[in-house]
Amino acid sequence: MSLRNAACIVGAFEHPTRLAPDMTTPQLHAECAAGALADAGLSLTDVDGYFCATDAPGFGPISMIDYLGLDIRHTDSTEMGGCTYIQHVAHAAQAIAMGKCSVALITLAGRPRSEAVQRFRPGAPESAFEQWVGLTNHTSYGMCAARHMHEFGTTSEQLAWIKVAASHHAQHNPHAMLPKVVTVEDVVTSPMIADPLHRLDCCVTTDGGGALVVVSPEIARTLNRPVISLLGAGEATKGPSGGLGLDLTVSAAAKSGPRAFAEAGVTPSDIKYASIYDSFTITVLMQLEDLGFCAKGEGGKFVADGNLISGTGKLPFNTDGGGLCNNHPMFRGGITKVIEAVRQLRGEAAPAVQVPNCDLAVATGIGGSLGARHGAATIILERQS
Which amino acid is present at 314?
K
Weakly modelled stretches of the chain, pLDDT under 50: none
The pLDDT, as a whole number, for residue 140 is 93
Does residue 177 sit in the same domain as residue 272? yes
**Angle at which helices 281-291 and 137-152 pack, to 10 degrees?**
50
The size of the chain, in residues, is 385
H helix runs in 153-252, sequence order: 156-170, 184-188, 217-220
pLDDT at 117: 63
What pLDDT is attached to residue 136? 84
Query: In this predicted structure, what is the pLDDT of residue 227?
Result: 93
Residues of the domain holding 300: 137-204+230-383
SS (H, E, C) 48-81: CEEECCCCCCCCCHHHHHHHHCCCCCEEECCCEC
Statement to judge: residues 29 and 81 lie in one domain = yes
Q: Which of 227, 260, 286 is the last residue of a domain?
A: 227
Let me know whether 249 and 270 are in one domain: yes
Quick one: pLDDT at residue 308? 98
How many beta carbons lie within 10 A of that of residue 79, not counting itself? 14
Statement to judge: residues 275 and 358 lie in one domain: yes
Residue 157: predicted pLDDT: 98
CB 232: neighbour CB atoms within 10 A? 24
Same domain? 244 vs 294: yes
Domains held by the chain: number: 2
The pLDDT value recorded for residue 131 is 74
Residues 157 and 20 in one domain: no
Neighbours of 121 (CB within 10 A): 10
Cβ atoms of residues 272 and 355 within 8 Å? yes
pLDDT of residue 123: 72
Residues 187 and 285 in one domain: yes
164 and 76 in a common domain = no
Q: Which residues contact 70 (CB under 8 A, 6 or more apart)?
A: 44, 47, 50, 105
- Please report whether residue 121 resides in a domain: no
For residues 227 and 383, the answer to whether their CB atoms sit within 8 Å is: yes
Question: Who contacts 308 (Cβ-Cβ below 8 Å, separation ≥6)?
Answer: 161, 162, 165, 315, 316, 317, 318
